[in-house]
Structure 1
Amino acid sequence: MTFAQHVREALPAALHLPKAFADVFDWAEAAGQNATFPKGQPFLSIYPLDQMNEPGASYLIFHPEGPPLAKPIPSEICERYATIATAAGDGGKMGFWLDDTGTQQIVIFDHGWPFVLTDDPIKALQFLSIGYPEPAALENASFLLREAVEYQGSEPPIVPTAFQEFITNHFGVDVPLRCSDLGLFIPEFEDMSDPMRQWMDRVRPQ
């Protein structure tokens, strides 16, 4: 079973694996950038495996799992949300969410606070290709990679060059300098106008 097939099987029926993500998974798997955790769950990296844990590598590990919430988890959350990646050292996640209009959104959980990143899979992949130290912990969408590294006190970045080249050549798009170059927005923690936050506030246990 390919990694993309594994992700498809792990998603609830209401969600789907976008073709753009499947293409990235197939590329990385063909490059040998996949392995399994000690308990046997498969994962995939945007780097060669000998680079993914190096200081300065972007913290991004693709692997499907359940919602990152305290139990009990309402069935509506399990039916409409799934994690596809860990994207920060403190457990920040990227996932898919079916919003109230029936649109599949790509969302981020930062310190337990969710927000909608985009409904465009290619834009989400362009965002990841920048190489931010912890994509799910980015606080300012206008940060250059250098500025994010300085702000977080991270090691000098290891740019995911091969991933960037694949994104550019396969999808015919540029690697942006900033998240905001894609028209993407990161809300403040107290901003409850985000639709994912409103939904979570409505359906999760108080």
Structure 2
Amino acid sequence: MSFADNVRAKMPEALVLPDAFAAVFDWAEANGQKGRFTHSDAGEYLSIYPLEVMNEPGASYVIFHAEGPPLAEPIPAEITARYVSIATAAGDGGKMGFWLDDAGVQQVVIFDHGWPYVLTPDPLVALQFLAMGYSEPAALKDPTLTAAAAAAHDGWDEPILPDGFHAFLNKRFGVTPPATAAALGITIPDYDDMSDPMRQWLDKHMPQ
């Protein structure tokens, strides 16, 4: 099976793998950007860079792989039925995932230190966000900063842009990631902002 098929097999029935994500998975796999975790039984992963670049200083921390919610056990069935992590997108374990909201809309969400927010309902917006070169997309606090400005603020190396990923998104979907996440319409709520629907839903099922 393809990487995309393996991801589909790990997803709850309520969720679907968006075509745009599947296309990116097929592209990365065809370009040899697939590796295998050596420290766990999590299986294979895909990088947005050639494998020899993904660990270089300045490379963005984005690794595609599917797994359950990044939460402490036990996790209620109501959560595992409507959420799946699709990528690790920060060095401390921050995740990007898919969540089916109460209106039946599949959202792309971020878990930052275990605390979530809705990123966008548009998979192509989410992919452009991952392609922008932010050092740790799931840990981004200010979407108005460029990747270079965010890296400088946090003391990271100058970003290495995933040029091949950019080229694929442009060729396949006719989009070019902008300079900032804010230009994609992305907002990031403060930690104490409970207006986010994913936070409200999670607090309902896991108030602790």
- Bucket of the pairwise TM-score, normalised by the shorter protein: over 0.9
CA distance in 2 between counterparts of 1:53 and 1:59 reads 8
What does 1:3-82 align with in structure 2 at a 5 Å threshold? 3-38=3-38, 39=41, 41-82=43-84
- Per-residue Cα deviation, 1:110-166 (whole angstroms, up to 9, x for no partner): 111100000000010111110100000000010111111111110111110110111
TM-score when scaled to structure 1? 0.98
Equivalents in 2 of 1:37, 1:90: separation in Å?
16
State the Cα deviation string for residues 73-126 of structure 1 (Å, max 9, x = none).
000000000001000000000000000000000000011110000000001011
- Alpha-carbon shift at residue 37 of structure 1 (Å): 1.0
Q: For 1:136 and 1:40, how far apart are their aligned partners in 2?
A: 20
Dislocated runs of 4+, deviation >4 Å: none
Matched position secondary structure for 1:22: helix
| Whole-angstrom distance in 2 between the partners of 1:189 and 1:94 | 17
Could you tell me which amino acid in structure 2 is paired with residue 157 of structure 1?
Answer: P
Q: CA offset at residue 20 of structure 1?
A: 0.1
State how far apart, in whole Å, the 1-side matches of 2:64 and 2:107 are: 17
Q: Which amino acid aligns with 1:151?
A: H
Q: Distance in 2 between matches of 1:126 and 1:28?
A: 15
SS in 2 for 1:117: strand
Counterpart CA distance in 2 for 1:61 and 1:173 is 21
Query: Alpha carbon RMSD of aligned pairs, Å?
Result: 0.9
Alignment of 1:185-200 (within 5 A): 185-200=187-202
State the Cα deviation string for residues 32-76 of structure 1 (Å, max 9, x = none): 000211236010000000111111100000011111101110000
Aligned residues between the structures: 206
In the alignment, the residues of structure 2 paired with residue 185 and residue 168 of structure 1 have an alpha-carbon distance, to the nearest angstrom, of 24
Residues 82-93 of structure 1: pairs in structure 2 closer than 5 A: 82-93=84-95
| Stretches of structure 1 lacking an aligned partner (at least 5 in a row) | none
Distance in 1 of aligned mates of 2:161 and 2:175 = 17
* TM-score normalised by structure 2 residue count: 0.97
Q: Given that residues 106 and 117 in structure 1 are in contact (C-alpha distance below 8 angstroms), is that contact kept between their aligned partners in structure 2? A: yes
**1:137 pairs with 2:139:** yes
SS at match of 1:196: helix
Q: Sequence identity, in percent?
A: 61
* Cα distance in 2 for residues equivalent to 1:147 and 1:37: 31
Deviation (angstroms), 1:205: 5.0
- Greater alpha carbon shift after TM alignment, 36-45 vs 108-117: 36-45
Question: Is the partner of 1:133 in helix, strand or coil?
Answer: coil
**What secondary structure sits across from 1:177 in the alignment?**
coil
Shift in Å, 1:168: 1.2
- State the alpha-carbon separation in 2 of the partners of residues 76 and 29 from structure 1: 32
